[in-house]
């Protein structure tokens, strides 16, 4: 089992109101030294055989991320043990 | 004239859209997300709601439904397609319309009657309005903030592809107050507020929404008269 992780983030120029709401809540935790919070999404893809980065990139580009508003990064996670349901 | 209304898992406003089509004088044909057959409809409405639970992004999974493959092909061939709310999100995800709909800037779900100013009236879905006409129809969305890069926004404006803008208050932070846009050919229109909820005095704030449905009937009548595909001849 090989795992590819896809991180999807809103492009820097796209407003992230969720991140802003979290940032605005931090002072209530006593945290005052955070200037910005942005929220993204982590997706784990488990391939049955070898990790296929090109395939993962295609999945990310066509479905997992919307290139109009989001960027993504993909990477293989080494040493992942299979989680069998 | 037969107007198809698609039902995805999680669609909410398919019933109202079908009813609006009937009130306008069309035959409403219910289309199922898993069935690629469009059953010979003359136009299609993608209704509001939360298709596939809004999982991943609004409209992202609906775009890959079997019925959408047929609709995307047919839309490129000139079939009039109206996407309302979630339907607008699906059209953007399917790249039939540019831009994207994102979380309302203030994070609140907005549900209210909304004034719009109609701009482009040379589309299959807006030809019964006059440019600058103000209409009142309900808006109800949590992710209705229209965004696109500056170049796309500029070209939408330069090409007269903004069909309506929010006036007397922008409910979601949409760039340049854009409430609805059309594709280059004028057959595909996406709009965030809900014309199908403003077709009867009993339930709507006005009858202004009816104009979208009578427009497509007019476009279809014109196209069958001169043997052209609907929408294309409007521009």
In the structure, what pLDDT confidence band is assigned to residue B226 with cuts at 50, 70 and 90? low
**A25 interface with B at CB cutoff 8 Å:** no
Q: Which two tokens stand for residue B219?
A: 């476009």
Backbone angles phi, psi at A28, to 5 degrees: -70, -15
Active-site residue numbers of B? 85, 194, 196
Residue A23 lies in a domain: yes
Angle (CA) B147-A62-B106 rounded to 5° is: 25
User: How many structural domains is chain A composed of?
Assistant: 1
For chain B, the domain total comes to: 1
Structure tokens given for B168 = 């007397």
A24 and chain B in contact, CB less than 8 A: no
Q: Domain residues for B84?
A: 2-234
Q: Which residue has the tokens 């000139």?
A: B78
Q: Give domain status of residue A85, yes or no.
A: no
Express each pLDDT in B107-129 by its tens digit.
Answer: 999 999 999 999 999 999 999 99
* Whether B198 contacts B171, CB under 8 Å: no
**CATH number, domain at A56?**
3.30.1280.10
Give the pair of three-digit tokens for residue A71: 């960027």
- Check pLDDT > 80 for residue B230: no
Q: Residues of chain A with pLDDT > 90: what percent?
A: 80
Tokens read off for B142: 């949590």
A83 part of a folded domain: no
- Give the minimum alpha-carbon distance from B107 to chain A in angstroms, rounded to a whole number: 7
SS3 (DSSP) at B80: coil
CATH number at residue B27: 3.40.50.880
Mean pLDDT, range A46-57, rounded to an integer: 92
- Residue range(s) defining the domain that contains residue A9: 2-77
Could you report the per-residue pLDDT of B191-203, keeping only the tens digit for each? 999 999 999 999 9
Size of interface A-B (CB pairs under 8 A): 33
- Is residue A47 in a domain? yes
Cβ distance of B100 and A63 shorter than 8 Å:
no
Question: How confident is the model over B138-189, as pLDDT tens digits?
Answer: 999 999 999 999 999 999 999 999 999 999 999 999 999 999 999 999 999 9
pTM of the predicted model as reported, rounded to 2 decimal places? 0.91
Q: Does the residue A59 lie in any domain?
A: yes
Strand stretches in chain B, DSSP E: 2-7, 27-32, 43-46, 81-84, 100-102, 110-118, 134-141, 145-147, 162-166, 178-182, 188-191
Q: Please tell me whether residue B65 adopts helix, strand or coil conformation.
A: coil
Average pLDDT over residues B30-43: 98
Cβ separation of B92 and A18 shorter than 8 Å? no
Are residues A14 and B102, on separate chains, in Cβ contact within 8 Å? yes
């Amino acid at each position: 089992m090989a795992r590819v992780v896809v991180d999807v983030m809103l492009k820097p120029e796209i407003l992230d109101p969720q991140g802003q709401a979290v940032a605005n809540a931090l002072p209530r935790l006593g945290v005052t030294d955070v200037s910005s919070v942005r929220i993204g999404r982590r997706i784990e893809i488990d391939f049955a055989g070898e990790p296929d980065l090109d395939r993962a990139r295609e999945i990310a580009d066509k479905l997992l991320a919307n290139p109009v508003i989001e960027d993504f990064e993909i990477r293989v996670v080494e040493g992942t043990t299979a989680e069998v349901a | 004239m037969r107007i198809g209304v698609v039902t995805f898992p999680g669609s909410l406003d398919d019933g109202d859209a079908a009813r609006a089509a009937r009130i306008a004088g069309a035959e409403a044909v219910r289309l199922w997300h898993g069935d690629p057959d469009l059953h010979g409809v003359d136009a299609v409405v993608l209704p509001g709601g939360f298709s596939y639970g809004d999982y991943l992004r609004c409209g992202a999974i609906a775009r890959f439904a079997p019925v959408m493959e047929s609709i995307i092909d047919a839309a490129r061939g000139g079939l009039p397609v109206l996407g309302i709310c979630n339907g607008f999100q699906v059209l953007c995800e399917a790249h039939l319309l540019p831009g994207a709909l994102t979380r309302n800037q203030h994070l609140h779900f907005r549900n209210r009657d909304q004034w719009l100013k109609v701009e482009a009236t040379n589309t299959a879905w807006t030809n019964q309005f006059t440019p600058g006409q103000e209409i009142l129809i309900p808006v109800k969305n949590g992710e209705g903030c229209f965004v696109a890069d500056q170049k796309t926004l500029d070209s939408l404006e330069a090409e007269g592809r903004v069909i309506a803008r929010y006036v007397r208050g922008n409910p979601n932070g949409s760039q340049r107050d854009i409430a609805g846009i059309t594709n280059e050919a004028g057959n595909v229109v996406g709009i965030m507020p809900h014309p199908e909820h403003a077709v009867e005095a009993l339930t709507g704030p006005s009858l202004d929404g009816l104009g979208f449905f009578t427009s497509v009937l007019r476009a279809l009548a014109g196209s069958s008269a001169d043997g052209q595909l609907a929408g294309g001849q409007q521009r």
